[in-house]
Amino acid sequence: VILRDIPRTYPELEFFKDNGRGQQALFNVIKAYSIHDNEVGYCQGSAFIVGQLLLQMPEEETFAVFVRLMETYRLRELFKPTMTELGLCMFQLECLVQEQMPDLCTHFNNMGFDTSMYASSWFLALFTTTLPLELANRIMDIFLAEGMEFIFRVSLAILQQARLDLLKLDMEGMLKYFQREVRERYENDHELLFVAANKVTLNAKKMKKLEKDYLTKRTKEQEEAIELRLVIVDDSHVKGLNIS
């Protein structure tokens, strides 16, 4: 899996061209982390964060910084196989969009456009796959100081500035918009995004309540899934008795 994703990581950059030292360094760090943390192992998206670090420091430092990012900044929870933390972030962002941009939230719902379809990479790759790399580097700097709250603020700023465009698009149009138009919007004007992000305010108590709501919802869904499995098993057992 790692070898498959290596060539897809920043292929436009000379440092990461096929069989270059960048690709080997990327493989070494990712492989080392997968051994270091076998519960998480390797998760798609982390390669872009590791690659971003390798452009600024040697392998050994990259590994050390990546470990710190994973363990101190919620990234390890995001990359766990259960994806519970990613689900929480998607739920919180969806609720914030519903509160701050209800028309956009309604449009997304009408189109069947789930939050994870556009925002999961924002959290898993810290915007490295969405925005110009220089801009993503600045976001990383602030993320190191402020944590995950800043990723939410940038996410809401992007949506606020894209709102009027998105309201005119269907699902296919929105997917293309997030793949291309968002990057192009900020290509030559990084401050446009930072000014908007700095105006976004998040209420810590509100975020905590949303976390509690999500965990309650998830627990209820898990209980309902267990009950459904028991009903199916019981029904199969009854049918088996009737046949005999």
- Which H, E and C letters describe the chain, residue by residue? CHHHHHHHCCCCCHHHCCCCHHHHHHHHHHHHHHHHCCCCCCCCCHHHHHHHHHCCCCHHHHHHHHHHHHHHCCHHHHHCCCCHHHHHHHHHHHHHHHHHCHHHHHHHHHHCCCCHHHHHHHHHCCCCCCCCHHHHHHHHHHHHHHCHHHHHHHHHHHHHHHHHHHCCCCHHHHHHHHHHHHHHHHCCCHHHHHHHHHHCCCCHHHHHHHHHHHHHHHHHHHHHHHHHHHHHHHHHHHHHHHHC
The mean pLDDT of 87-110, rounded to a whole number, is 98
CA distance 20 to 80: 30
Confidence at residue 240, expressed as pLDDT on a 0 to 100 scale: 59
Confidence at residue 93, expressed as pLDDT on a 0 to 100 scale: 98
Q: Give, in order, the Cα–Cα distances in Å from 73 to each of 140, 209, 221.
A: 11, 20, 28
Are 16 and 51 a contacting pair, CB within 8 Å? Answer: yes
The mean pLDDT of 53-64, rounded to a whole number, is 97
How many angstroms from the chain centroid is the CA of residue 133?
Answer: 16
The mean pLDDT of 33-49, rounded to a whole number, is 92
If one compares 104 and 237, the residue with the highest pLDDT of the two is 104
Are 25 and 10 a contacting pair, CB within 8 Å? Answer: no
Residue 123 predicted with pLDDT over 90:
yes
Instruction: Tell me the two tokens of residue 90.
Output: 């998607």
If one compares 95 and 5, the residue with the highest pLDDT of the two is 95
Torsion, Cα of 28, 60, 136, 85 (10° steps): 70
pLDDT in tens, 196-232: 999 999 999 999 999 999 999 888 877 776 766 666 5
The mean pLDDT of 80-90, rounded to a whole number, is 93
Mean pLDDT value across the chain: 92
Residue 20 predicted with pLDDT over 90:
no
User: pTM score, two decimals?
Assistant: 0.88
Confidence at residue 45, expressed as pLDDT on a 0 to 100 scale: 83
